[in-house]
Structure 1
Amino acid sequence: MKHFFLFTAILAFISIVSATGKTPCAKALECDTPSDNTLTVYGTAQKWETTDDKVFYLAPGFSKCQVNYTDQSNVVCVSPQYFLNDSLRDCNEWVQVYNPDTGIVSFGRILDECGAVPNSTFGCNDIYLSKKMFTELAGKNAAEALNSGHLTQVQWRKVVAPCWSAWAGLPGKFPNGTQDDAHGYDSNGFLRCGRRSGQNRVVGADVAQVCNKNIKSCDEANAIASKLPKYHGGSCDHQSKAVAYVAQTNQLT
């Protein structure tokens, strides 16, 4: 009898894999594997994932992470399997997304879950994006991508919160889910000098003056920031094109 039940379970597992082409994420937090953490040239990041479902853009609203976001927010939506046991652990982790069709890279926070529908093939390697990130990654093909409603495929990984997000005062966690005070280098080698708030924020094109490879100390960055216009409101969720990390595959280390 034991062998019968074991055989039945194996057949059921094989049928799921055959139908979806993916191994089911049945275990709690199976999508989060500590061994996925690897070292980049500058800091910690997780291994690259490649989507095999089409990458759609999200309708704005109230997220799994209990945050209201809009079409202008930088948001990444991941499988519900990232939220199983510690349901909000992955919230505010930062993700670097690369579109091989355009060579463009964009960054966003994990704020929502997607794919929680019957017979979904949305796996641990798949993501959806906010409209802002979607159009950034589509580049010159944005109109065509918006018309079709999806990108074909992207690559992505969890990273240390980027320098520009710290100056904008946006929340962030390390790729392992622990709190990040936004000091030290981000995963692309830009020095971070703490998370800003109030009028001390730097956003938009100005952030390129404090987030670049020439900045060697926070004293230097702070001196530059002190001469920039004070922040007086508006979107902080704005990634300047000057720090958008337009890249080719061989530069993604």
Structure 2
Amino acid sequence: MSSNRRRVALVTGATSGIGKAIAESLAAEGIHLIVTGRQALPLRALAQGLRDFDVDVYPIAIDLADPSGAQELFVQTVARGLEIDFLVNNAGVGVFGTFEETGLADELAMLSLNTRAPTVLCKLFLPQLARRKGRILNIASVAAFQPGPYMAVYYATKAYLLSFSEALAAEWEGSGVSVTTFCPGPTCSGFQARAAMEHSRLVQGKRLADADEVGRAAVHAMMVGGRVVVHGTGNRFNAVAAKWLPRRWITRAVLKMSAPVAKFGASA
């Protein structure tokens, strides 16, 4: 990738948390940005702040949970005459609760945002990325390595993204296009509140990873061409354990770690 050419990154879910940190890290490297989010006002505020890095920023307010959202995002970037060197699929959401309790509409929107949108964006932007020897960064989760009671569909979406990304990395090896799957654990961001999981034993009373540090680590992983990068020593241990221990044991452990505090008690 020529350092003399104007480089552009598309970052989805950029208005807060890991996505915002990724956008800031890329801007600090002089990379121009297309940033997306659902709400126009926070997105415009983000764009204004990012321009302090002396880069061009194009905010596009769009709901990628809408089945047509990803294709519309592609159309809008083409209409602006933009081509990208980096595709960052960060936008994602969780839904907490037993499967019988959670809302079907919420689950379907999550499936669309967490799996459909990155699939469509990878498909549509691939010709550009191939021409420009670009990079893809898909933000999955340590959840991708095991089933997740109380967040059954969320964990399954991240398993899909991991499998999908690894397959693309193999198909495109030697093409100049790299695909990095970055897998953080619970991170201090707006994710927990939106997923309504503040009372889960997975996060309540825990010291969560800092979103800025996680975002910087994700950008570094993409830039060095890592394939699957799990953030944090404890998360790496859990990912390895999930490969070797019986699935029933792992699932039961996640059940206890994720349950509402009142389910097993704070000291269980």
Which protein shows a greater Rg? 1
Same fold (TM > 0.5): no
Which band: TM-score by shorter chain? under 0.3
Q: TM-score, length-normalised on structure 1? A: 0.28
Structure having the larger proportion of residues in helix: 2
